[in-house]
């Protein structure tokens, strides 16, 4: 699988990353120096108790938020030195993000939601249509393109959100509890989808989850506790 140079240069590297929310008396330190390395093609699950900083670290990895201190290297590039626009371009070109709440645009069809990242990439109408349809098909939502989020079930919305995240063929897919709101059957479908994306398209996947069942799909499980990486389990031996 890891045939390119990324086996040497890690795709993502966090060094001593801290995050402090708020200022002064009400400030809260959510991350206490996180070191993390993720290589190209990896499939990582992040687990840990509620409030341990999983979402915080995922948001930082997704360039949605900035660390208070420490350094984040993306393909060797220090992200904290990029300005807002460069970070937006990084998100646009390399990252796909699936939010804990689906965060689809309301009153907007699934097709248009999925096309949105392509629109910002400046792709043509035909390319957008085709890619969005392919992405929707790959999450099993053929024929649901014209449905708006309110006309879709929770699992379908989650799959639209995943389609939107993968439509640009990102290097990394970050998913914050993609199965959190779903029943276990739909959850397993989503996990199989993520596994396929990881194996077939070579997309690096990082996924936050509470459920060991779901984490079992990953190659590695990173355990968080109180804003620190507690331990990392490798499950390389699985199918």
Partner 1 sequence: MLWNTLLLALREIRRNVLRSFLTMLGIVIGVAAVITMVTLGNGATQSIADQVSSLGSNLLIVRPGQRLGPGSSVAGAPNFKIADAEAVQSQISAVRTLAPTVARGLTVVADGRNWSTSITGSTNAWFSTGSWQLADGREFSEAEERGGQAVCVIGETVRRELFGTQNPIGLSIRIKNFSCEVIGLLVSKGQSAFGSDQDDVVVMPLKTVQRRLSGNQDIAALRISIKDENAIEQAKKQITLLMRERRNIAEGEDDNFSVLDTRQISETLSSTTRVMTTLLGAVAAVSLLVGGIGIMNIMLVSVTERTREIGIRLAIGALEREVLLQFLIEAVVLSSLGGVIGVLLATAASISLATVMQLPYLFNPGINLLAFGFSAAIGVIFGYFPARRAARLDPIDALRHE
Ligand X SMILES: Nc1ncnc2c1ncn2[C@@H]1O[C@H](COP(=O)(O)OP(=O)(O)OP(=O)(O)O)[C@@H](O)[C@H]1O
Residues lying near ligand X in the complex (CB under 6 A) are found at 21-22, 28, 30, 48, 50-56
Chosen residue from 22, 50, 107, 236 binding partner 1 by CB under 8 A: 107
Asked if residues 13 and 36 have their Cβ atoms less than 8 Å apart, the reply is yes
Q: Which does 144 bind (CB under 5 to 8 A by kind): ligand X, partner 1, Mg ion, none?
A: none
Q: Quick one: which segment of 2-10, 58-66, 74-82, 220-228 binds partner 1 (CB under 8 A)?
A: 58-66
Within 39-58, the residues that bind Mg ion by CB under 5 A are 55
Q: Please state, in angstroms and rounded to a whole number, the distance separating the CA atoms of residues 193 and 199.
A: 10
Judged on CB neighbours under 10 Å (0-12, 13-18, 19+), 143 is: exposed
Asked if residues 173 and 203 have their Cβ atoms less than 8 Å apart, the reply is yes
Element (H, E) at 225: strand 220-225
Number of residues that this document lists for the chain: 239
Distance of closest approach, residue 20 Cβ to ligand X, in angstroms:
9
Residue 30 DSSP one-character state: E
Q: Quick one: which segment of 67-75, 113-121, 139-147, 194-202 binds partner 1 (CB under 8 A)?
A: 113-121
Q: Give the relative orientation of helices 154-166 and 110-120 as an angle to the nearest 10 degrees.
A: 20
Chosen residue from 24, 122, 143, 237 binding partner 1 by CB under 8 A: 122
82 near partner 1, judged by CB under 8 A = no
Q: Which does 89 bind (CB under 5 to 8 A by kind): Mg ion, ligand X, partner 1, none?
A: partner 1
Q: What region does 202 belong to: left with phi over 0, alpha with psi -120 to 50, or beta? A: left
198 near Mg ion, judged by CB under 5 A = no
Q: Which does 21 bind (CB under 5 to 8 A by kind): ligand X, Mg ion, partner 1, none?
A: ligand X
Pairing outcome for strands 220-225 and 228-234: antiparallel
126 near partner 1, judged by CB under 8 A = no
Assigned token pair, 38 = 């993720």
Q: Which does 51 bind (CB under 5 to 8 A by kind): ligand X, Mg ion, partner 1, none?
A: ligand X
- Nearer of residues 196 and 225 to ligand X, judged by Cβ: 225
103 near partner 1, judged by CB under 8 A = yes
Judged on CB neighbours under 10 Å (0-12, 13-18, 19+), 195 is: middle
Q: Give the relative orientation of helices 125-138 and 110-120 as an angle to the nearest 10 degrees.
A: 130
Binding site for partner 1 (CB under 8 A): 59, 62, 64-66, 84-85, 88-89, 91-93, 95, 97, 99, 103-108, 112, 116-117, 119-122, 164
């Amino acid at each position: 699988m890891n045939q390119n140079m990324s086996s040497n240069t890690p795709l993502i590297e966090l060094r001593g990353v801290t995050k402090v929310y708020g200022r002064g008396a009400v400030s809260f330190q959510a991350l206490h120096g996180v070191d993390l390395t993720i290589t190209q093609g990896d499939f990582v699950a992040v687990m840990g108790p509620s409030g341990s900083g999983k979402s915080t670290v995922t948001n930082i990895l997704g360039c949605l938020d900035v660390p208070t201190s420490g350094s984040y290297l993306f393909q060797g590039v220090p992200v904290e030195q990029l300005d807002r626009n460069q970070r937006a371009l990084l998100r646009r070109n390399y990252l796909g993000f699936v939010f804990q709440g689906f965060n689809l645009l309301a009153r907007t069809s699934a097709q248009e939601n999925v096309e949105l990242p392509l629109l910002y990439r400046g792709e043509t109408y035909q390319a957008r249509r085709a890619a969005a349809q392919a992405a929707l098909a790959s999450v099993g939502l053929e024929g649901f393109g014209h449905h708006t989020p309110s006309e879709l079930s929770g699992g379908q919305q989650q799959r639209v959100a995943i389609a939107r995240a993968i439509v640009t063929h990102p290097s990394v897919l970050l998913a914050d509890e993609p199965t959190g709101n779903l029943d276990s059957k739909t959850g397993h479908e989503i996990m199989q989808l993520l596994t396929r994306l990881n194996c077939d398209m070579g997309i690096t996947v990082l996924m936050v989850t509470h459920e060991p069942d779901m984490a079992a799909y990953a190659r590695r499980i990173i355990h968080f506790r109180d804003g620190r990486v507690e331990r990392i389990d490798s499950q390389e031996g699985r199918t």
